[in-house]
Structure 1
Amino acid sequence: MNIKEEMLSKKRWVVYGVSPDESKFGYKIPQRMIDHGYEVYGVNPKYKGEKIAGVDVYASISEIAQEIDCIDIVVNPKIAVGVLEEAKENNIKNIWLQPGTWDENVLNKAEDLNLEVVYDDCVYAILGPK
């Protein structure tokens, strides 16, 4: 099983950068994951306490009581670097970087933190419509 298959086999995910804008992947990805049977939590400090695309939204990963298997990052690289730190602090090693969320600095940081990373594919595209 390759890294993508391994991550996709895990069922409890955080979408970091969840958005109420229905045209953005921060909205589309959580919905598609729920359609495929995933348990999804959203993180976006701006919308803490709200429900977006069917998921509860938290200000940070540490606020989520459940153990998280993977984080799907949908924020820009400057924010993504901090998300990696937060993942490490919360003992989450599986990170999926959506297109446009990573740069060399992000990939180097992930390697330094010894995180498992997928950065060459899109969860939304892989799962496809149900």
Structure 2
Amino acid sequence: MAFANPSRDEIKRILEASRTIAVVGLSDNPERTSYMVSEAMQAKGYRIVPVNPNAETILGERVYASLGEIPFPIDLVNVFRRSEHTPPIAREAVAIGAKTLWLQLGVENEEAAAIAQQGGLNAVMDRCIKVEDSILLPHGKAKS
């Protein structure tokens, strides 16, 4: 059966429930899409946890070389990597107990989605988290 993204209502629920977002492939270059999207999400109240083996701090946050090195719970793993690199990231997301694997706009991999779903995670592909958040939570996140 072909992959289908969650409904808009379900994506809204995912965003409302997510506080801590690990961003795999987050660049320290402010001109890169990953930086701009993550900066906007940080401004909306999400904690951004950069995952990039080639940097020390991004957006004022400590950078981790891999998901497995993050010493605290992650709600959502947002991926800015080429599609073919996503299955190992999906396995790492399952291993760390994340709740959602989110592949950014232009990133699609049925195997990665299947790994995430079989591991109990929500899976979203080929969607921009910033766009979805802006549409579904235009006034920001409800404080819990």
Band of TM-score, shorter chain: 0.7 to 0.9
**What is the TM-score when the length of structure 1 is the normalising length?**
0.84
Residue 3 of structure 1 is matched in structure 2 by 10
Instruction: Note the C-alpha offset of 1:37.
Output: 0.7
Gapped regions of structure 1 (runs ≥ 5): none
Question: Secondary structure, in 3 states, of the residue corresponding to 1:34?
Answer: helix
Distance 1:105 1:65 in 2: 27
Contact 2:21 2:78 in 1 (8 A): yes
Distance 2:101 2:113 in 1: 11
Q: What RMSD over aligned residues (CA atoms) do the two structures have, in Å?
A: 2.2
| 1:59 lines up with 2:76 in the alignment | no
Of residues 78, 90, 94, the one that matches 1:88 is 94
Distance 2:70 2:60 in 1: 16
Equivalent residue pairs, number:
128
Listed one character per residue, the Cα deviations across residues 83-103 of structure 1 (whole Å, up to 9, x for unaligned) are 101011111131111112223
Contact 1:96 1:119 in 2 (8 A): yes
Identity in percent: 28
Distance 2:108 2:126 in 1: 10
**What is the TM-score when the length of structure 2 is the normalising length?**
0.77
Distance 1:119 1:78, change over 3 A: same
Of residues 63, 88, 104, the one that matches 1:98 is 104
Residue 70 of structure 1 is matched in structure 2 by 76
Question: Secondary structure, in 3 states, of the residue corresponding to 1:2?
Answer: helix
Deviates more, 1:117-126 or 1:6-15: 117-126
Listed one character per residue, the Cα deviations across residues 42-79 of structure 1 (whole Å, up to 9, x for unaligned) are 101122xx111333210011221221111111111122
Deviates more, 1:110-119 or 1:16-25: 110-119
Deviates more, 1:108-117 or 1:17-26: 108-117
